[in-house]
Copies of this chain bind each other. A is one copy, B any other.
Amino acid sequence: MSEEDRFAPSEQVLSGRTADIYFLNARRILEQEGLNLRVTMEIFPSRSGILCGMNEVKSILAPVLPPDSEVWAVSEGESMEGKEVVLRISGPYRAFGIYETAILGILAQESGWASGARACVDAAGEIPVIHFGARHVHPDVSARLEYAAMVGGCTGCATQAGADLAGISPSGTIPHALILCIGDTVRATEAFDRYIDPQVKRIALVDTFRDEAEESLRVARALGDRLWGVRLDTPAERGRVTPELVQEVRARLDQAGFSHVRIVVSGGINASRITLFREKNAPVDAFGVGSAISGAPPIDFTADIKEIEGRPIAKRGRIPGVTVNSRLIRII
């Protein structure tokens, strides 16, 4: 999928139906007044984080800006400071003014998610973090969430749409639903092993019916070398997954000769819990993270007009004129 295709804006966006109505009114007034001013607008975040969404922003601006316009930007995935100018657009205001709502929104939500992911990834150090949070956001943006999680440093995600956007294959284990339908963890895992593409890792979910340590040994005995790992997802009602549980399952697997079986931990995992697991040296092989990423708050962005027809200008409270930032690279 080409970069343009990946982030092609929808008709709703291009038509201005998702723009704040007053931008459409402003465009109409300027047209009526015959004003087609060349304006430089700068965009900055309210706080520091990981910048995400810039590729998509480019996909909006590229088709609408006339040839003598310029767009400068900090690159996708880089870290940014609060109030740092990360995007500068120079061109006829009537050509791009109505896209302010969409541009700010894309950057806000995707940078928020990428920053949430980065916090978990930083806490996890060498241990990979897989994103499982699609179920906490609207399906119309879940692929963007998965993409942002990957930009933030995650190594896997769970939906086909998200994986396509990020250019990888989706990851998954076994849902509780399958085990409940089949009635036994071992039989469900065996069925998975029977029908699913051998390329897909066999990762058994081991907390549905019995104690996790007991179930881990049962599936390890059943699948042997074909078992890639087990996933611990103990619910809060059973005390969630603790570092001690991981240590015990590891010890029992090792004592039974299954040292090749990896341990994936999920269920309410966030950066502070990851830190706890690492401080206690719990032998985790991968973390599955959901709401700590999907629920990360948007990083609000602001757009300021800083120059009109070459003259520095700004509203009260802002400093007129272009802001110097050597990290900006011309993208259009």
List chain A positions with a Cβ less than 8 A from chain B.
Answer: 9-10, 12-13, 16-26, 28-30, 32-33, 35, 37, 39, 93, 97, 100-102, 104-106, 108-110, 132, 134-144, 158-162, 164, 170-182, 188, 191-192, 194-196, 200, 207-211, 213-214, 234-240, 242, 244-245, 247-248, 251-252, 255, 290-291, 294-295, 297-298, 300-301, 305, 308, 312-321
Instruction: Find out whether the CB atom of A244 lies under 8 angstroms from the CB atom of B248.
Output: no
Contact B317 A244 (CB under 8 A): yes
* CB-based contact A174/B101 at 8 Å: no
Top 4 closest A-B pairs, CB basis?
A239-B239, A22-B172, A235-B317, A237-B244
Instruction: Give Cα A105 to B97, complex, Å.
Output: 32
Check if B182 sits within 8 Å of A33, measured CB to CB: yes
Q: Roughly how many angstroms separate A173 CA and B20 CA in the complex, as a whole number? A: 10
CB distance from A216 to the nearest CB of B (A): 12
Q: Name which residue of chain B comes closest to A179, CB basis.
A: B315
- Chain B nearest CB: distance from A116 CB in Å? 11
Q: Would A23 and B255 be within 8 Å (CB), given that A33-B191, A161-B18, A180-B315 are in contact?
A: no
Q: Are A297 and B297 in contact (CB under 8 A)?
A: yes
Asked whether, in the complex, the Cβ of B317 is within 8 Å of the Cβ of A238, the reply is: yes
Given A37-B181, A305-B180, residue A104 in contact with residue B211 (CB < 8 A): no
Taking a contact as CB atoms under 8 Å apart, the answer to whether A93 and B181 are in contact is yes
Hey, which chain B residues are within 8 Å of A173, CB to CB?
22
B174 near A236 with CB under 8 A, answer no
Please report the C-alpha to C-alpha distance between residue A295 and residue B136 in the assembled complex, in whole angstroms: 14
Query: Could you jot down 20 A-B contacts, CB within 8 Å?
Result: A18-B161, A18-B162, A20-B134, A21-B158, A22-B175, A28-B195, A29-B178, A93-B177, A97-B177, A100-B177, A101-B135, A105-B134, A207-B316, A209-B211, A234-B239, A235-B315, A235-B318, A245-B317, A291-B298, A291-B300
Q: Which residues of B contact A251 (CB under 8 A)?
A: 319-321
What's the nearest-Cβ distance from chain B to residue A118, in Å? 18
A48 to B: closest C-beta gap in Å: 16
User: What chain B residues lie within 8 Å of A16 (beta carbons)?
Assistant: 160
User: How far is A16 from B192 in the complex, measured between Cα atoms in Å?
Assistant: 19
Closest to A146 in B: B18
A39 to B181, CA, bound (A): 8
In the complex, A301→B238 CA distance in Å?
Answer: 18
Could you tell me the distance between the alpha carbons of A316 and B185 in the complex, rounded to whole angstroms?
12
Q: Which of B19, B132, B162, B209 contacts A316 (CB 8 A)?
A: B209
How many angstroms from the CA of A196 to the CA of B24 in the assembled complex? 11
Asked if residues B141 and A140 are in contact (CB atoms below 8 Å), the reply is yes
A100 vs B134: C-alpha distance when bound (angstroms) = 10
Residue of B19, B134, B210 touching A18 (CB-CB under 8 A)? B134
Q: Could you tell me the distance in whole angstroms from the C-beta of A264 to the nearest C-beta in chain B?
A: 13
**Smallest Cβ-Cβ distance to A290: which chain B residue:** B300
CB distance from A304 to the nearest CB of B (A): 8
